Amino acid sequence: MKKRLVAMGLTAVMAMSLLVGCGSGGSNNTSSETPAKDETKKSGYRVAYIARAQSDSFAAWLANEIMAEAGEYDDITLDVFDGQADDEKENTAIENAISSKYDAIIVQPNNGEAQRPYVEKVVQNGIIAITTNARIDGIEGASSVDADPYKQAAVNATLALEQIPENARVVVLNGPSGNFHADERRKAWQAEFFDKRPDVKIVAEDFANWNKDEAMALMEDWVIAHGEIDAIISMNDNMAAGALEVVAGKPGYEDIFVYGVDGTAEALLLIQEGKMTATCLQSAIDLSELILDTAHRLLTGEEKQIDTDIAAPLITKDNVDEYIKIYKERGLITE
């Protein structure tokens, strides 16, 4: 039976629910309208989550998981806002959250350095600040919940050392320039793979900005310009899936190696089908649980500052089924 990707439909949900913001507490409210006051609800904390972009499949997945996890806390009301992959819009959303006097503001940066001064304003206004996916380092008084992007790429690069053939021709898809996760993953590939495999030639490399369509456009050009390509090295799954879609079914690309990061539902199914080689799980499930736990501990005064990471497990054909099972249990993949 053909499997249906619920996760890839999340962007449509996000488009509706994030334009203005959606409240969630004991239950999730996905309406853009202000929810009616619930007199029986316990007084608690107001938390704003500023999402990077609903058009990014991982960002959409993370925002939905955060909304679901917030529902487990009866003293937290969560509002989610869409940065629309635009620094100006994201910064405006942060400023609006400050003006609205939220108790905590969680920021998923579009461009860490562009958001840095605005997160600093959060701290200066006495509001709890948390940066996530990717963290913004060096903001005194701010906390962070993230994954280690160097490790995420390094587990793929170590595998690729053994798999990619001698004198291979590869293409590289990068995330946004200046993005902490994008830059660190590229550094890891350089140090853990390219520096150790001087025989491998990068025939093309460019920024696809986490975007599937941009990756497809680049790959279409690269196939025409360079012909034989032995591997696609991508800094996330969304770009990897886009590039792979271009060469799917084309003669000469049946054995292409494809590496990504995130462990999205789409990537897991591609690995199960033998079309994608490996990914590193950046679990939005684990991340959301840790984000809300961190926010709650800071809000209640249990801790003053927290900087923590989730794990970075490698997913290949050997273990992909166990992760697909988890996704099925959460309704992210259905038969």
Question: Any idea what DSSP says for residue 28?
Answer: B
pLDDT in tens, 289-318: 999 999 999 999 999 999 999 999 999 999
252 and 199 both lie in a single domain: yes
116 and 185 both lie in a single domain: no
State which amino acid sits at residue 143. S
Is 330 part of any domain? no
263 and 295 both lie in a single domain: no
Assess whether pLDDT exceeds 60 at residue 39.
no
| Helix%, strand%, coil% for the chain, nearest 5 | 40, 20, 40
How many domains does the structure of the chain reveal?
2
Angle in degrees, 0-180, between the axes of helices 237-247 and 57-70, rounded to the nearest 10:
140
162 and 277 both lie in a single domain: yes
272 and 291 both lie in a single domain: no
* Joined tokens for residue 265: 């539902």
> What is the per-residue pLDDT for 43?
63
Is 311 part of any domain? no
pLDDT in tens, 152-202: 999 999 999 999 999 999 999 999 988 889 999 999 999 999 999 999 999
70 and 166 both lie in a single domain: no
275 and 288 both lie in a single domain: no
Choice among 3-17, 88-102, 119-133, 160-174 with the minimum mean pLDDT: 3-17
Assess whether pLDDT exceeds 80 at residue 234.
yes
Residue of 91, 106, 95 lying closest to 145 (CA atoms): 106
Average pLDDT in the chain: 88
Is 129 part of any domain? yes
Question: Any idea what DSSP says for residue 105?
Answer: E
219 and 300 both lie in a single domain: no
175 and 240 both lie in a single domain: yes
State which amino acid sits at residue 311. A
140 and 214 both lie in a single domain: no
153 and 260 both lie in a single domain: yes
Assess whether pLDDT exceeds 70 at residue 34.
no
CATH code (residue 139)? 3.40.50.2300
Is 87 part of any domain? yes
136 and 250 both lie in a single domain: no
Neighbours of 99 (CB within 10 A): 9
Q: Which domain holds residue 249?
A: 149-281
Over residues 309-335, mean pLDDT? 93
Is 313 part of any domain? no
pLDDT in tens, 73-86: 999 999 999 999 89
Query: What's the whole-model pTM score?
Result: 0.80
